[in-house]
Amino acid sequence: MSARERILARIGTAIGNHDAEIDAYLVEHPRGPAPALRDNLITHFRERALQLSSDVIEVAHPGEIPAQVAHYLAERGLPPRGACWPVVGSLPWGEANLEIAVRGANSQDMVGITGTFCAIAETGTLMMLSGPETPPSNSLLPETHIAILNTRRIVASMEDAWDLLRKEHKAPPRAVNFISGPSRTADIEQTVTLGAHGPYRVLIILVNA
């Protein structure tokens, strides 16, 4: 008998006869209780994202993004260079004197630019799906992560985000990453310090399309 069989046998003996309704439960996948939101989705999302130390900028048209990014980077003395996902590769970055390469980020990149699958108002969280066109490295390796988010893609809860995933994709991709602000640690003296192993800052650009 293998370890697998022995473990399963032990479990089976311990829990005795059971009437498993696993398939029915998976089909139903009921939701648990979720808190109601006080404000509209965009207001709530922005408020929570700011609480989690993300920076938030709103623009009316995608064309305004490069200038806003250039301003944000310059204000913080950050280099005007980085790597972005293809989905935002066609923005006029050069017009704002930015050198943005369309590729997955590496450890030398100081700025990573991404789109966002959707965002969750309840917690101010970005939901990112991995894929050839959406490499997770861009939101992970550089010290600055800039995420572009269409306000129509803000949903109320993580449950709503899962439904969107189920609707638009057959199955989850290799990595689903929920990002809620810059990386942080409180391991030393329980004092929160931003910028542990991931980005030091997260800029969310809301596009009111």
Write out the binding residues for another protein, residues 171-200 only, by CB under 8 A: 171-191, 193, 195-199
What are the start-end ranges of the E strands in 70-117?
A: 81-84, 99-102, 111-114
158 binding another protein? (CB under 8 A) = yes
CB of 20 to another protein, least distance (A): 4
Q: Cα(117)–Cα(115) distance, rounded to whole angstroms?
A: 7
115 binding another protein? (CB under 8 A) = no
CB of 207 to another protein, least distance (A): 23
CB of 140 to another protein, least distance (A): 5
User: Which three-class secondary structure state does DSSP give residue 207?
Assistant: strand
The site for another protein, by CB under 8 A, has a size of 71
CB of 119 to another protein, least distance (A): 12
48 binding another protein? (CB under 8 A) = yes
Could you say which residues in the range 56-95 bind another protein, by CB under 8 A?
A: none
Strand bridging mode 144-150 / 125-129: unpaired
x/- binding map, residues 6-25, to another protein, per CB under 8 A? Answer: xxx-xxxxxxx-x-x-x--x
Nearer of residues 86 and 92 to another protein, judged by Cβ: 86
Nearer of residues 60 and 171 to another protein, judged by Cβ: 171
Return all residues near 79 (Cβ < 8 A) that are at least 6 apart: 73, 110, 111
Q: Cα(209)–Cα(65) distance, rounded to whole angstroms?
A: 13
Nearer of residues 66 and 112 to another protein, judged by Cβ: 112
Helix (H) or strand (E) holding 204: strand 201-207
Pick from 184, 122, 116: nearest CA to 151: 116
CB of 69 to another protein, least distance (A): 22
Q: Cα(104)–Cα(116) distance, rounded to whole angstroms?
A: 15
